[in-house]
């Protein structure tokens, strides 16, 4: 399994001949190296419906005939937009042709703001556990610190945890460092930082808060192999 960081909270997973994108915020993302019209994808996984996570899901899914895996409310919204979806909910797990996906809780808000100043509720936010060939990654989505992260780590040994550190909207570096301790992941990668001024953070200072060797900063476009 190859996992590539593409800025903000965007991850690309390549495994078993399939390409999976998590939270494909590309258009309008000043930190990504991707170009939406060049992306090839088979599956899209969504943590929640905010614009900086839902991102380019609709055009990408349509252009690639990709399946979007998301919460029931978000799946319904996307189905109405002509997108192929598979709905899941918190605590649920399912095997797909590329591997296994399980939705975990996350503490955040969710919804989509329309141009006519309406807010569409898009279900509860979630974290994602993706297990492929015995290796598990955890994408926490947008979340605050919560103690049940310890339970997530105990139930699902995590090889790499991708944790938001931006503060203001999510955990900051100190809370994310404690989250890493609770999860017990072998490796921890910071995400959701410095895309906008309000979430400006130094990822290397975050890594310094972790035990030696646990933290790893991935530059945009950089990959890890599991």
Convert the pLDDT of each residue in 94-136 to its tens digit. Answer: 999 999 999 999 999 999 888 899 999 999 999 999 999 999 9
Give the CA diameter of the chain: 49
Convert the pLDDT of each residue in 20-43 to its tens digit. Answer: 999 999 999 999 999 999 999 999
- Rounded Cα distance, 16 and 113, in Å: 36
* pLDDT above 90 for 18: yes
Burial 202-219 (b: 16+ CB within 10 A, else e): ebeebbebbeeebbbebe
Half-sphere exposure of 151 (CA within 13 A, CB side): 7
Domains, the chain, ranges and CATH?
2-214 (3.60.15.10)
This prediction's pTM? 0.97
Q: What is the pLDDT of residue 28?
A: 97
Asked if 204 and 173 count as a contact pair (C-beta separation under 8 A), the reply is no
The mean predicted confidence, pLDDT, of the chain is 97
Q: What are phi and psi of 101, to 5 degrees?
A: -120, 135
Convert the pLDDT of each residue in 192-208 to its tens digit. Answer: 999 999 999 999 999 99
Give 2's strand partners: 14, 225
Would you tell me how many other CB atoms lie within 10 Å of the CB of residue 86? 14
What is the H or E stretch that residue 74 is in? helix 72-80
Collapse the DSSP code of 58 into the 3-class scheme (helix H, G, I; strand E, B; otherwise coil) and give the result.
Answer: helix
């Amino acid at each position: 399994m190859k996992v590539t960081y593409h800025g903000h909270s965007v991850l690309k997973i390549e495994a078993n001949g399939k390409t999976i994108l998590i939270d494909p915020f590309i258009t309008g993302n000043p930190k990504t190296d991707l170009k939406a019209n060049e992306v090839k994808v088979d599956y899209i996984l969504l943590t929640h419906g905010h614009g900086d996570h839902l991102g380019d899901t609709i055009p990408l899914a349509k252009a690639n005939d990709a399946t979007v895996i998301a919460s029931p409310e978000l799946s319904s919204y996307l189905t109405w937009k002509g997108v192929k979806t598979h709905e899941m909910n918190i605590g649920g797990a399912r095997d797909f042709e590329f591997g296994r996906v399980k939705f975990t809780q996350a503490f955040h808000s969710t919804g989509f703001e329309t141009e006519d100043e309406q807010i569409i509720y898009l279900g509860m936010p979630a974290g994602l556990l993706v297990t492929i060939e015995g290796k598990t990654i955890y994408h926490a989505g947008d979340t605050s610190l919560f103690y049940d992260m310890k339970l997530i780590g105990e139930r699902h040994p995590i090889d790499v945890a991708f944790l938001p550190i931006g503060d203001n909207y999510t955990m900051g570096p100190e809370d994310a460092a404690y989250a890493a301790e609770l999860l017990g992941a072998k490796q921890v990668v910071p995400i959701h930082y410095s895309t906008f001024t309000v979430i400006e953070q130094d990822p290397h200072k975050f890594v310094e808060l972790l035990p030696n060797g646990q933290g790893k900063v991935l530059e945009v476009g950089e990959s890890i192999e599991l």
